[in-house]
Amino acid sequence: MTLYFDTKIEFLDVDAVSTISSWHPNEPLFAVASYSQERGGSVTIFADTGEPQRDVTYPVHATSQATALCWHPEKALLATGWEHGEIHVWFAGHREFASVSGPHKAAIVLLEFSEQGGRMVTADAMGLVTGWRCDGQYQFLTMFSHDLREVLLLICFRRTVESEVREEMANLAKAAVAGDENALDTLTNWRPRTAARGHSTVRDNHCFYACTQGGVVYYINQGGSCSEVTKSGPHQPAIVQMLWHPKKDAVICLLEDLTIILYLVESTGILTELDRVKLSGRGTGKQGAIAWAGNSLAIITGDLSVRIWDIERSDNYLLKMDQSNSCHLAGMSSSLATSSSNNNNHNHNNISTGILFSPESSGESNGNLTRKVSKYTQLASNEIFTCLAYSTSNQTLCAATNLGNLYTWKRTLSCFVGAPEDAWQLGNISTLSRQGAVKSCTWGFNELSKPCILANCLSSVYMLKEQPLLAAHTRSLWAVQSSAKCVQLTHCSGRQCTVQADFAVTALALNELNLVVSNGRSISTYSLQRVEKTLDEFEEILEASGVGVGSTGSSSSASPPSLSVKLLQTFSGECLALGLQHQNIFCLNSSDIVVYSVGGVVLHRIMGNDVEGKIIGMDLTGCYLAVFTMNGYVKAYDVTRHDPKLLFPSKSGHEIFDDFGEFIVVKCNSLGSHLGVVIANSSFTPCASIYCWDFERNNLFEYDLTRSQPETDTDSRSSLAVRIFWDTEEPRLLAVEIRSMVMQKLPKQQQLQVPTPSHYVESQILVMFYSDKTDGKLNVLESQNISQGAQLLNLCVPSVVCVQVNAVQEQPLQDFADLQQCDAVTRRQVLNFSLHVAEGQMDLAFRCVRSIRSKVIWTNLARMCVHTSRLDVAKVCLGHLEQARSVRALRQAMEDDDLELEAKVAVLAIELGMLEEAKDLYKRCQRHDLLNKLLQSTGQLDEALKLAETEDRIHLKHTYYQKALALRESGDLKGALDYYEKTQNPVQHITQLLLEHPLAMKRYIQSTTDPKLLRWWGQYVESSGDMDAALAVYSKAEDWFSQVKILCYLGKISKADAIARQSGDRAACYHLGRHYENVGKFQEAIMFYTRAQTFSNAIRICKENDFQEELWTVASSSRSRDKAIAAAYFEECGNFRHAVELYHRAGMLHKALEMAFESQQPEILEIIASELNAESDGELINRCADFFGSIEQHQKAVQLLAKTKHLERALSICVEKGVPVTEELADLLTPSKGDLPETMRLSILVQLGDLLQQQGDYHSATKKFTQAGDKVRAMKSLLKSGNTDKIIFFATMSRQREIYIMAANYLQSLDWQSDPMILKHIVGFYGKGQAFDSLANFYAICAQLEIEEYQDYAKALVAMQEAAKCLEKLSHAQHAYNKLQRTVADVKCILEMQQSLQAGDNLSVIAACRSMLLKPELPPIRHAHILAMLVRALVYAKQFPEAGRALKELAVKDNSWSASGLVDRALVQRVAKECDLDFELIWNSGRQTNNSATTTTTRAQSTISMTTTTNTTTTSDDEADDEEIREELN
């Protein structure tokens, strides 16, 4: 409920009469021009309090008055134009008005600033227009002057219209409040104190239009050039008002004849007409006026009506003048204009309605305040509107009349309206002046950014301030402002009284002893009578009197006595907010907090320092005072003592919050440990979060309203916290009033149909608490919706206190629904229970309420058990609720082991009526069958069908059946039939449904194609005796049996025969076969019995009539039992061939074999043997094998025995009879693991491997030996195959020492000199087999080959060194190692001789060679090689005779020396020449070949003669096998 307190502006001159007025667009300042006969004209500047600005010398002219006033749009600068042509300017902070010299000589009629104030334009009565530039030093310079020689009616500056993209970027900062600044104004009236709303950063536009009295419109551009853009005719009306369009480059013009024209403005200033509307009205055009109301145009036309023209939708309507409409709308939706004064953070609430208090009516009761429009229309039918103004901040339109009345309409966007005029609510009707009309009305802002109205009447000026109704509450006493000067006090005992103040109350504070009120300038204190009665006595009084909480009257004649209130003191003091603690009054003024006694004595003063800034808000909760300052600092005081004690050092909001701009609400809890805080962010937009700051531990708890209320598919919401109240006793509990702007997401078609905004406001109260276990988040205890117009007043457990209009209402908390009147101990227990339940601590909650008898408590605890899955506690709760049936259902669910835990909890949820939670639990445990059952039981069949079709298809047909039953009960037969058709047994249900409706039955049967239903109908018709009709129905249903049955009955055998043959239906064929048998047609009967697969009947007929051929045919395709019967019959008849085959087909193999042996039928025996397997009778298998052996078919006998797993006998036959073993037969003869004992299985595998080895299949033998685990034998068999790759692979995979050695020995027999990989494998295998003696011998062979073949002693030395390394690893090879070392020393000596020979040291080489030749020749060193070196050294030393003798000795040692290239041919020629020898004879003596040359292996073995004793575990048989392998290899 919003009040408007009107204040008459008092001039310095009492006799002065107001002329014109103007309010600054951004500052709490307004200027009024006045005129008196004694002093003349004057201009006075007033503050928002209605008092003139001090220390300012106002201009006074005895013979002239001010004719024009205009404020600078951004600066505190006032420009005034006077009747004698002078211009005076006042700057903020200056005492005197400065005079601006200009060219004007006549009266200044127009004075306007541009959009940003960079250009000022003045116009006088002679038509002279002058442009001024205002610089930073407040100097005005003349830019241009144009003499238009005609009186100007108006000047309209061009405005910069922002683009849609730029507008969208500007709205990003307002996203938290529904996307625009009006939404912020909708949810809260808070305005930033530390920073004003951000101004537009658009570039100032100096272009403007000037309209003359003759109808000419001039356009003056940025540079000051003037051009004529429109000119009306001689009798055309002039433009009296021009407004710039807020969204586009266009202007709206109002003409004298009430014609409104919409012009499009081009960049050059040219006007293009877009639309023209002619309005009807009375009087002259001077009585018309227009104003922008949002994006619509408000128009008055000289009568008592306001028309709204929606230009975008081309719609217009009249605003309603009846207040009953506003009351109706107030019941439908939340008021958008209501908001708190929480920026002052005092302990009272605000109520918003539309009542305005004038001085004459301030003392009246609330019931007489509201006035009906009809009253005015009856008293004064000649009343018309004279002016109007619109406030964009609170979306309020005000219009004043010629009789001094002021009307206000609030534009409500908070509800869906059927007509656009319903969005406007008429709220205030006030009489400002009874002497004359209101000339102008203007909206402005006071210091707290609250909207104000400045109304200029004929002789006086009134300022109207918006003021919400006040209220305060304690546990036993509450106060509500009932009018501007009246406060209604109510005690919980029912006692009441009304306090009449001497002034309009703007602040209020209350406790049990005192009441304090203030109007901002004075403070009055009242003493209250202490009521000593107990609460029980109060209840008795209430019951006797019938007075409830929040009531303002009594329903009984015996009303309780009134409260005694006494005025203590009234004293002066600036006051923005009040707080009361015991006998101390805390008063917030413009800069600090003053502490008064109730007698008005100043006790203390709390001030902010230069760093903190001045104090701008306070709140007093109990004995703790919370304070925040202009610079964003917060602090708290303990005010129980005489001097307030600071609880913590002042803290900056920037240190507490990440994104901080200003404090909005700060309240301290009753313990003095936490602060409840609402802030604005750095862009000075209220944050959609609630904070609780633990200043003792510096912990911050947060509750984000945007995350807690996510968007849905149907709507999205933006929420703000507008009020916070801590509980008066519980320090953890606080209540927050939340206002949410809900944006309805309408479909596109609906959006086109509904022209009104699809959004509304919701209000609710969140009861929250903090806990150290919640990781910095506030927990919600519960939420309560509040009625329209109600506001949060206090939190006083067990109730949330709200105020509705002028009545206090208590809404109990959920757990206190039936415990409102309880003592403090019970209240504490129940509150602890609520907090523990919210935290999920079931055990603690249960302990708190164990002894409390309250069904609400136990119900809430049981509901909490659903979320915590505590079924044991839930069973106790249901017992306390005396719900035996629910306890039984829960116990059965708990004992059912097939149910998941979630399903058991769902049973509890169902018993408690928590169906949505039960659905979620069933979905969570994937029990779609139980969910389907729940949906069916609750009547949600459509959702059950959807679930059954997607998740629970096993119950789909049953769900169809339930849906059909529901439709049948509702009378929807067609729908029921559709769902019956989808069920498992539709015939039964459909027939039951339609039997009562024969005609519907017949129509349905004619249209259906269901064979079951047609068969039922045919049977129904057949039972009535109409065989032809029944035959037709059976034909449609394709029921062949019924057709044949009726045709046989009618004697139409040929047609029945054709149907039976064509359809092949077994029932039809059987019926027709019986018919043929009865008439003696046995062949036809046998054929149809066979088609019907009733072979026993056909065999019976064949036996009775001795039809052997037919019997063989029938028995061949019959069942085993029938085959056996037919075989016995053939055996009796002596037809053994058919008998044996039928016995065989019937599975009677013994009988078949006996008869086959007796009748000597080997073909049949072979067929029978092919079908035998391991599970067959062993005796039968042996008999068959003996039979095959008797006829010399040993291969078949072995095949049979192998197939039937008689492996030993099969192997013996293979060995004895020499049966070749193929790969397939070998696989059959291989026993699987588990078929035989392991020893027997290995024995069979070894025998099979020996057999395969004997037959030369070494690879298969290797495979069998490997399967038997005898890898040595497998390797021996593989060595015989000679497959090198497989030998290498097998040796690598076997990883056995003996196999490595065998593989390496085998590889030595190959050409390993030319294949490096074989050489690598030999070395590797010897190394892996640790056969270092063999490896040493191999290296010796390598060394011998290098010397013999290539005379490469270097490589031979390397091989010998490797052999020495191997011998080092053998402890028994020391002798061989020593011998090898001597050989290595000789090889090194030879290498040194070769190096000396290359170096040219021939003599040393000759000496060394002769020394070496004296030693006996020991392999691998050969004297021939030394002699060849000696020959070369002698030749190089030119000792040719000695060289010849050495050459002859070489020829004796090696007769192939020239062939092996020991000495070069050229060298021999030189020796022969020097010694005069026959070269050919010498050369040819060394070219003889040695056919009996000793093998390399023998020389290598002689090189290393060692006696090694290896610890082998092989038996003599293995050594013999090794010898055999060597012989094979050799």
Average pLDDT, the chain: 76
Give the 3-state secondary structure of residue 898. coil
User: Residue range 587-614: average pLDDT?
Assistant: 90
What mean pLDDT is predicted for residues 1364-1381? 75
User: Which residues, 6+ apart, have CB-to-CB distance to 1145 below 8 Å?
Assistant: 1116, 1120, 1123
**pLDDT tens-digit series, residues 1273-1283:** 767 776 676 67
- Residue 1240 is predicted with a pLDDT of 75
Average pLDDT over residues 694-707: 87
Q: What is the mean pLDDT of residues 1327-1335?
A: 72
The 577-581 sheet, strands edge to edge = 577-581, 584-588, 593-597, 602-606
**Mean pLDDT of the 1109-1138 span:** 75
pLDDT over threshold 50, residue 937? yes
What per-residue confidence (pLDDT) applies to 119?
92
Phi/psi for 661 (5° steps) reads -125, -45
Considering only residues 1375 and 277, tell me which one the structure prediction assigns the higher pLDDT: 277
Please say if the pLDDT value at position 579 is more than 90: yes
In the predicted structure, residue 562 carries a pLDDT above the cut 60: yes
- Tell me what pLDDT residue 725 has: 93
Question: Which residue, 181, 1409, 1427, 1375, is CA-closest to 685?
Answer: 181
Q: What pLDDT is attached to residue 736?
A: 93
**Residue 517 banded pLDDT, cuts 50, 70, 90:** very high
Which pLDDT belongs to residue 1506?
36
Q: How would residue 1047 be classed by pLDDT, with cut points 50, 70 and 90?
A: confident
Buried b / exposed e over 252-266, threshold 16 CB at 10 Å, is bbbbbebbbbbbebe
Comparing 735-744, 1150-1159, 1324-1333, which segment has the lowest mean pLDDT? 1150-1159
Q: Model confidence at 677, in pLDDT bands (50, 70, 90)?
A: very high
Q: Average pLDDT in the 357-386 region? A: 46
Opening angle at CA 1014, ends 1012 and 1016, nearest 5: 70
Higher pLDDT, 1115 or 729: 729
First to last CA, the chain: 123
pLDDT above 70 for 424: yes
Q: Which one is predicted more confidently, 414 or 314? A: 314
Residue 265, pLDDT above cutoff 90:
yes
Alpha-carbon dihedral of residues 1456, 1457, 1460, 1464, nearest 10 degrees? -150
pLDDT confidence bin for 346, thresholds 50/70/90: very low
* pLDDT, position 286: 57
797 by DSSP, 3-state: which? coil
Q: Give the pLDDT score at 129.
A: 95
Averaged pLDDT for residues 658-665? 90
State the DSSP code for 997. -
pLDDT at 674 > cutoff 50: yes
pLDDT exceeds 60 at position 1329: yes
Mean pLDDT value of segment 557-584: 84
Mean pLDDT of 177-202: 55
pLDDT in tens, 862-891: 777 787 777 877 777 787 777 888 888 888
* Three-class HEC string of 142-199: EEEEEECCCCEEEEEECCCCCCHHHHHHHHHHHHHHCCCHHHHHHHCCCCCCCCCCCC
Check pLDDT > 80 for residue 1480. Answer: no
Q: What is the band of 1161 on the pLDDT scale with cuts at 50, 70, 90?
A: low
On whether the CB atoms of residues 732 and 835 are closer than 8 A, the answer is yes
What is the average per-residue pLDDT within 161-172?
48
Q: Which of 291-305, 942-956, 1017-1031 has the lowest mean pLDDT?
A: 1017-1031
- Is the pLDDT higher at 1002 or at 647? 647
Q: Residue 1391's closest CA among 1423, 1357, 1342, 1436? A: 1357
Residue 168 has pLDDT above 70, yes or no: no
pLDDT band at residue 188 using 50, 70 and 90 as cut-offs = low
pLDDT band for position 523 (cuts 50, 70, 90): very high
pLDDT digits (tens, 9 = 90+) for 1193-1206: 666 667 667 666 66
Percent over 70 (pLDDT), the chain:
73
The answer to whether 1430 touches 1410, Cβ cutoff 8 Å, is yes
**pLDDT of res. 367:** 34
Dist. CA 809–CA 185, nearest whole Å = 26
Cα distances (angstroms) measured from residue 562 to each of 494, 516, 546, 552, 666: 8, 19, 15, 12, 36
Does residue 1132 register a pLDDT over 80? Answer: no
Quick one: DSSP state of residue 1236? B
Q: Which structure tokens are listed for 1402?
A: 């021939």
Tokens representing 1090 are 């066979």
Share of the chain above pLDDT 90, in %: 16
Nearest to 470 by CA among 508, 514, 524: 508
Alpha helix ranges (H) inside 1400-1515: 1402-1414, 1423-1436, 1440-1453, 1465-1475, 1479-1484, 1496-1503
CA atoms within 13 A on the CB side of 1264: 28
Cα-based distances in Å from 1379 to 275, 1496, 1509: 128, 19, 18
Of 1486 and 1465, which is predicted with more confidence? 1465
Please return the burial class of 57, using the count of CB atoms within 10 Å of its CB with bins 0-12, 13-18 and 19+: exposed
pLDDT of 392 higher than 80: yes
* Residue scoring higher pLDDT (709 or 1117): 1117
pTM here is: 0.53
